[in-house]
Chain A
Amino acid sequence: MSDFLKDRTSQIVTLENNAPDIACEKKSLAGSVSQRACVFCGSRVVLYPIADALHLIHGPIGCAAYTWDIRGALSSGPQLHRLSFSTDLREKDVVFGGEKKLYHSLIELIDTYQPKAAFVFATCIVGVIGDDVERICKKVSREKGIDVLSVMSEGFRGTKKDGYAAACGALSALIGTDDSYHAPKFSINILGDFNLAGELWILKDYYKRIGVNIITCLTGDGRVDEIRRAHKASLNVVQCSGSMMPLAREMKEKYGIPFKKVSYFGIEDMSDALYEVAGFFEDENMMDASRALVAGELNMLIPALVPFRKDLTGKKAAIYVGGAFKAISLVKALRLLGMETVVVGSQTGNSDDYRLLQKLCDPGTILVDDSNPNELSSFVKQKGADLFIGGVKERPIAHKLGLGFCDHNHERKEALAGYEGMLNFAREVHASVMSPVWKYVK
């Protein structure tokens, strides 16, 4: 490993008896070619799925251009979130300030698109050139009569996680602003599902079948008016805990709403998510309905997985995703397909999640935090992986080395959550690993 960066040694652990805990939540090293993005990215991805809000990116064009229609976060109604709005700051704006441009952009866009609320993302240079974004937002809010919320997401002000927190702050400003809503008895919020490939709709159906009402999802298929009522829920169910924990904690403190961490990937975790909610409400009917739902789904799913499992048993997988919590579900889901995880890592995992992974994975597995192409390519080769699960940036690493690939990131087009998601996952992994094209690579 001599040609890896020495300062990263503590963030790479090979699992064995007495393996040390992996170091994490560190700043990326300059020049390391980290797979991470920035604060802005964190804020942008969390708020992006709110479909009836205006998302205006204040800064030069890059940040808006690179995040135009970037997530497969589907909306059942308005599609405003899929447009990319930018103040497109030019040299003269940098010299004279961008406040006027921001003000006029907000006014024209609100007049044209009639959004329910507006989010203004401050990018790197906004503070440096002295723009008072909050003041402009307040002014426009008064003039137009809608919430205009500033999201201070300058790229350099921390990591993607700080961007999540800034986005949670904006959500928090909306929550609690509609007190007129009377929530049905068993009402929850889903936190941290982004309705990629319509996954939220699958979950909503399950919850409906066990008698649970969802007030809002933060933020998949999100609507501003639903978010305003989120404080009426009895429980917050948190999936992407990396992004949504700040909000879940705040809502517990502010409104006394407890939260549960769940995952919807794989059979065990999906079923647990339903049982947890039924258990929380201490309702026998709901528990019975959950059992019936799980049994019914598994009766269909398990036989359907058999042919995939037959082909995939003994194959090896590498996982590199955004948060480590998702990686835990993926390790279990792969096991269900007979596959062994040999490399697992994440951009922004925390020590709790890594500890769970450390317990879950087999000896010899390489665990890595905030990795880069050099390390990842070397690990998958060293461990003889047949499949890489990651996002767009990991895909060419896999393909160039002749490994199958499964996209488990924003851009996935197949729903991977829930029981039908598990079947899609099996199908996708199978289609990649079993392709005959790999025989030409060697």
Chain B
Amino acid sequence: MKKPLLSPKSSGFVSTRNACKLCSPLGGSIAFRGVEGCVPLVHGSQGCATYIRRYLISHFREPVDIASTNFTEDTTVFGGAMNLKVALENITQQYNPSLIGVCTTCLSETIGEDVPQMLRIVEVEANRHSDGPALVAASTPSYQGTHIDGFREAVYSLVRRFSYKPQLPESQNSINLFPGLWSPADLRHLKEIVAAFELRYTLLPDYSETLDNPVWDDYKRIPAGGTPLQELRNMGGALTSIDFGGVEELSGEGYHSGAHFLEKEFGVGRKVLSSPIGIDQTDRLMKFLAHVSGNEIPDLFTDERGRLIDAYIDGHKYVFGKRVVVYGDEDLVAGLTSFLNEIGMKVVLVASGTEAKSLKRALANVSIDALPLMADADFEEIRAFCRENPPDLIVGNSKGYNLAHEAGIPLVRVGFPVHDRIGAQRILHIGYRGAQSLYDTIVNTLLQQKQDSSRVGYKYL
């Protein structure tokens, strides 16, 4: 009989070898970076903030300032209230932020810190003197879920803390957009799509500028951009919300969604869509936007769609039946699987570091044949799978490089993190345009593989 406290992974291992996930405060910090004037603060040891910064800098290649409350032994024994207070003061002095977003850690949660309560006390004290920054806390212990859960938790905390139901006509024409952990290019494209339907919108989070800046003359302690706090406040009065990668039926406890909160509290309609990757999923988005706006789908997009189908046809034989392994964050692999299916590739494995119920939930909106799912996956398990069932292509973040290289299988880099190429922030996944870019990359990668492994030296393929 299995030991009751141990739940082995599909490989039978108890330990995780080369994790295919990151910890929750990382996701929370990214979400907070997507709010205008916000500085994220990690409530725990110095290393948490520094490791997260280093990891994000290697992906975005941008300054990513994240503060820490710098726990010491005393803090761990006597509590972190004082450190939190000092950190808030020091951040305010250095950054003059309009918002500080606090992420908890395994340490602060384990010793039972009540951060929301501490923040309330600080706010009450501060209001007597001056206008300090707004404060918000997200519960992101690293032992719970993955970075994607941290990302969603921070978004949920922001909505819960700040939104209300304003009686403003302009917000009633506005829709709320809750994206997954997409690239800055994806967020920019989503805004472009929604604006083309002549819709007002609030995108939360919006790090399309804050984590993808032009070059600067002077160092910007807080980069421009992000969801304005005022818009965030007005989300409760919006026409509807799109919950990308969200869950239709929210029966399970502990699943937090900003869009769901707005539905429950203020009756804002909620539309659940998969990440719009590929034609099928993008069509769903376009149709919904046409319905909400009352406008036709703009020619710009029908033209893009037409060219995309033309490309699908030009390249269909190169990809048909090719075996592909997909791994990464659950939202992303759901969208990618839908896309890979529609171009005729055979998805032989969908792997994610998230737990089984999250992965199944994410794939629920994607109509696909039964496929092998590997939840709670790590890269050694994915590697073992690829050894036994060698695919023709691997699609995922750059952490699969070693296993792909070892097996001689090409890797198309998508999602997060991409640490071994430049341009991670410019990888476009969503919309017809994103599908076009992914499609060209995949076809050309397969063609190059074919060309490289042939002695003939074909010049036409």
Chain A residues, Cβ within 8 Å of B73: 156-158
Chain A residues, Cβ within 8 Å of B213: 400
With A30-B83, A31-B88, A83-B17 as contacts: A37 and B50 at CB distance below 8 Å: yes
- Closest residue of chain B to A402, judged by CB? B215
Chain B residues, Cβ within 8 Å of A320: none
Q: A87 within 8 Å of B by Cβ?
A: yes
Q: A187 within 8 Å of B by Cβ?
A: no
A260-B86 Cα distance, complex, nearest whole Å: 42
- Closest residue of chain B to A41, judged by CB? B47
Minimum distance in angstroms from B12 CB to a CB of chain A: 8
Scan B403-419; emit 1 where CB is below 8 A from any A CB, else 0. 00000000000000000
Minimum distance in angstroms from B416 CB to a CB of chain A: 12
Chain B residues, Cβ within 8 Å of A440: 215
| CB contact between B67 and one of A33, A64, A65, A396 (< 8 Å): that residue | A33
Contact in complex: A105, B14 (CB < 8 Å): yes
Q: A32 within 8 Å of B by Cβ?
A: yes
A157-B71 Cα distance, complex, nearest whole Å: 8
With A27-B72, A61-B19 as contacts: A155 and B48 at CB distance below 8 Å: yes
With A4-B94, A156-B75 as contacts: A35 and B23 at CB distance below 8 Å: no
Stretch of A237-245, A289-297, A358-366, A374-382 that contacts chain B: A374-382
Contact in complex: B94, A87 (CB < 8 Å): no
Chain A residues, Cβ within 8 Å of B218: 381, 401
Stretch of B106-114, B259-267, B310-318, B364-372 that contacts chain A: B106-114
Chain B residues, Cβ within 8 Å of A374: 94-95, 219, 221
Contact in complex: B380, A83 (CB < 8 Å): yes
- Closest residue of chain B to A97, judged by CB? B5
A395-B22 Cα distance, complex, nearest whole Å: 23
Query: Which of A38, A373, A395 has most chain B Cβ within 10 Å?
Result: A38
Chain A residues, Cβ within 8 Å of B153: none
A92-B93 Cα distance, complex, nearest whole Å: 40
| CB contact between B14 and one of A38, A60, A104, A156 (< 8 Å): that residue | A104
| CB contact between A392 and one of B5, B15, B57 (< 8 Å): that residue | B57
With A31-B88, A61-B21, A84-B18 as contacts: A128 and B76 at CB distance below 8 Å: yes
Chain B residues, Cβ within 8 Å of A401: 216-219
Contact in complex: B67, A41 (CB < 8 Å): no
Contact in complex: A100, B6 (CB < 8 Å): yes
Scan A365-395; emit 1 where CB is below 8 A from any B CB, else 0. 0000000111001100100000000001101
Minimum distance in angstroms from A432 CB to a CB of chain B: 15
Q: A96 within 8 Å of B by Cβ?
A: yes
Contact in complex: B219, A377 (CB < 8 Å): yes
Stretch of B38-46, B120-128, B241-249 that contacts chain A: B38-46
Contact in complex: A156, B72 (CB < 8 Å): yes
Chain B residues, Cβ within 8 Å of A129: 110
- Closest residue of chain B to A397, judged by CB? B63
Query: Which of B5, B90, B143 has most chain A Cβ within 10 Å?
Result: B143
Chain B residues, Cβ within 8 Å of A402: 215
With A84-B18, A94-B106 as contacts: A37 and B23 at CB distance below 8 Å: no
Minimum distance in angstroms from A93 CB to a CB of chain B: 7
Chain B residues, Cβ within 8 Å of A68: 18-19, 399
A60-B213 Cα distance, complex, nearest whole Å: 33
Chain B residues, Cβ within 8 Å of A40: 45, 47
- Closest residue of chain A to B100, judged by CB? A31
Chain A residues, Cβ within 8 Å of B58: 392
Interface of chain A residues 240 through 281 with chain B (CB within 8 A): none
Chain A residues, Cβ within 8 Å of B278: none
Scan A75-116; emit 1 where CB is below 8 A from any B CB, else 0. 000000001111111111110100011001100110000000
Query: Which of B41, B69, B76, B87 has most chain A Cβ within 10 Å?
Result: B76
Chain A residues, Cβ within 8 Å of B84: 30
Chain A residues, Cβ within 8 Å of B49: 33
| CB contact between A62 and one of B26, B69, B399 (< 8 Å): that residue | B26
Interface of chain B residues 80 through 98 with chain A (CB within 8 A): 83-84, 86-91, 93-95
Scan B209-226; emit 1 where CB is below 8 A from any A CB, else 0. 000010111110100000
A63-B106 Cα distance, complex, nearest whole Å: 11
Number of interface residues of B (CB under 8 A): 76
Contact in complex: B22, A66 (CB < 8 Å): yes
Q: B358 within 8 Å of A by Cβ?
A: no
Chain A residues, Cβ within 8 Å of B142: 59-62
Q: A441 within 8 Å of B by Cβ?
A: yes
- Closest residue of chain A to B41, judged by CB? A31
A63-B69 Cα distance, complex, nearest whole Å: 17
With A62-B142, A392-B58 as contacts: A31 and B89 at CB distance below 8 Å: yes
Minimum distance in angstroms from A67 CB to a CB of chain B: 8
Chain A residues, Cβ within 8 Å of B144: 90-91
Chain A residues, Cβ within 8 Å of B3: 100, 104
Scan A298-334; emit 1 where CB is below 8 A from any B CB, else 0. 0000000000000000000000000000000000000
Contact in complex: A397, B219 (CB < 8 Å): yes
Q: B105 within 8 Å of A by Cβ?
A: yes
Q: A133 within 8 Å of B by Cβ?
A: no
- Closest residue of chain B to A2, judged by CB? B93
Q: A5 within 8 Å of B by Cβ?
A: yes
Q: A74 within 8 Å of B by Cβ?
A: no
Chain B residues, Cβ within 8 Å of A154: 45
Chain A residues, Cβ within 8 Å of B272: none
Contact in complex: B87, A66 (CB < 8 Å): no
A100-B23 Cα distance, complex, nearest whole Å: 22
Contact in complex: B45, A156 (CB < 8 Å): yes
Contact in complex: A29, B90 (CB < 8 Å): yes
A88-B45 Cα distance, complex, nearest whole Å: 18
Q: B33 within 8 Å of A by Cβ?
A: no
| CB contact between B52 and one of A66, A96, A158 (< 8 Å): that residue | A66
Q: A56 within 8 Å of B by Cβ?
A: yes
Q: B68 within 8 Å of A by Cβ?
A: yes
A3-B218 Cα distance, complex, nearest whole Å: 15
Q: B320 within 8 Å of A by Cβ?
A: no
- Closest residue of chain A to B62, judged by CB? A396
Q: A124 within 8 Å of B by Cβ?
A: yes
Q: B346 within 8 Å of A by Cβ?
A: no
A108-B95 Cα distance, complex, nearest whole Å: 48
Task: Give the A-binding residues of B (Cβ under 8 A).
Answer: 3, 5-6, 13-19, 21-23, 25-26, 41, 44-55, 57-58, 61-73, 75-76, 83-84, 86-91, 93-95, 105-107, 110-111, 141-144, 146, 213, 215-219, 221, 380, 399, 402
Return 5 A-B CB contacts under 8 Å, by A number: A94-B143, A156-B75, A157-B73, A378-B219, A400-B62
Among all A-B residue pairs, the 9 with the closest Cβ atoms: A38-B47, A62-B23, A155-B45, A31-B87, A31-B90, A377-B219, A105-B15, A60-B142, A30-B87
Contacts A33-B67, A104-B15, A401-B216 supplied; 10 other A-B pairs, CB < 8 Å: A5-B90, A5-B94, A36-B50, A60-B143, A83-B18, A88-B19, A90-B144, A100-B6, A128-B110, A396-B57
